[in-house]
Amino acid sequence: MDYQVLIKKLFPVIREAANKIMEIYEDDFEVDYKDDSSPLTRADEEANSIIVDFLHKTWPEHAVLSEEVKDDFSRLGQKWCWIVDPLDGTKEFVKRNGEFTVNIALSKNQKSILGMIYVPVTGELYYAFDQGGAFYQPAPEKKFQQIEVSDRIESLCLVMSRSHASDKLQALIDENKKFIKDSKQAGSSLKGCLVARGEADIYYRFNPTMEWDTAALQIIVEDAGGIVEQLDGTPLLYNRKDSLNAKGFYVLNKRENNFLKGLR
């Protein structure tokens, strides 16, 4: 499969979904709530329709797993599966702080092998495909630039969630203050993107997430030279029956910065 061709086909659709999100963002919108109390807006639903309809039409032989589509598990056992979060960071969308993204990933045999993350408010775009490098476009009119994680193992910058505080994370920060110089807050997949660009070095997530929260950022970070694993060091796999990432995960620029394994 030619991943470059896939990437080029995805550019217009991810921007179309982002434009629809911004159209709703700049207007009045209602907020509903799912059974798990997470917010849902018309932006989630309309962006989802744009992306999922395109994927089904363009690659009908591929399975699709999306946050906003009821899962019938027909995808299980299929080699190729698209994993979609049409609006990652709905809480940030509702707060109108701009820190939300559109995430599209492709898994092959349960491994994330292609990912694209778009930031609707700024027009920033990230993408990567298996062993093809990770790339960043600051704005639609700008050129793409290849990105890499930093090589820092001292004076680290830790990035953390705006909406998902954790006592375990605070304990980790307190225990490793001599290595952590600075911290930043960011919403949605932007945390992983900051590590991929070398603007942050470590991101630990102790709270559970879902497959669509990590699939795109994982391949982008890994192709930028970083590490994404579950907190116990095992791989994150995709197109599973249970889509919950129950173990949490970390994003590291270097293996030495795995504070959980006592490498320091």
Instruction: List Cα–Cα distances, 67 to 185, 200, 219, in angstroms.
Output: 24, 27, 19
Asked if 181 contacts 157 with a C-beta cutoff of 8 angstroms, the reply is yes
Angle ∠(33,39,44) on CA atoms, nearest 5? 110
Instruction: List Cα–Cα distances, 45 to 51, 64, 66, 168, 189, in angstroms.
Output: 10, 15, 11, 33, 19
> What single letter denotes the amino acid at residue 52?
V
Beta partners for residue 118, in sequence order: 102, 125
- For 90-149, what is each residue's pLDDT tens digit? 999 999 999 999 999 999 999 999 999 999 999 999 999 999 999 999 999 999 999 999
What is the pTM assigned to this prediction?
0.95
Domains located in the chain, CATH noted: 3-147 (3.30.540.10), 156-261 (3.40.190.80)
Beta partners for residue 101, in sequence order: 88
- For 214-224, what is each residue's pLDDT tens digit? 999 999 999 99
| Cα 70 from Cα 183, distance rounded (Å) | 37
Q: Helix, strand, or coil here: 36?
A: coil
- For 56-90, what is each residue's pLDDT tens digit? 999 999 999 999 999 989 999 899 999 999 999 99
Query: If you count DSSP H runs as helices and E runs as strands, how many of each does the chain have, helices first?
Result: 6, 16
pLDDT at 10: 98
Query: What mean pLDDT do residues 176-197 have?
Result: 95
Query: What mean pLDDT do residues 183-204 have?
Result: 96
Asked if 62 contacts 75 with a C-beta cutoff of 8 angstroms, the reply is no
| Cα 124 from Cα 16, distance rounded (Å) | 14
Query: In terms of Cα–Cα distance, which of 250, 217, 249 is closest to 116?
Result: 217
| Cα 103 from Cα 127, distance rounded (Å) | 10
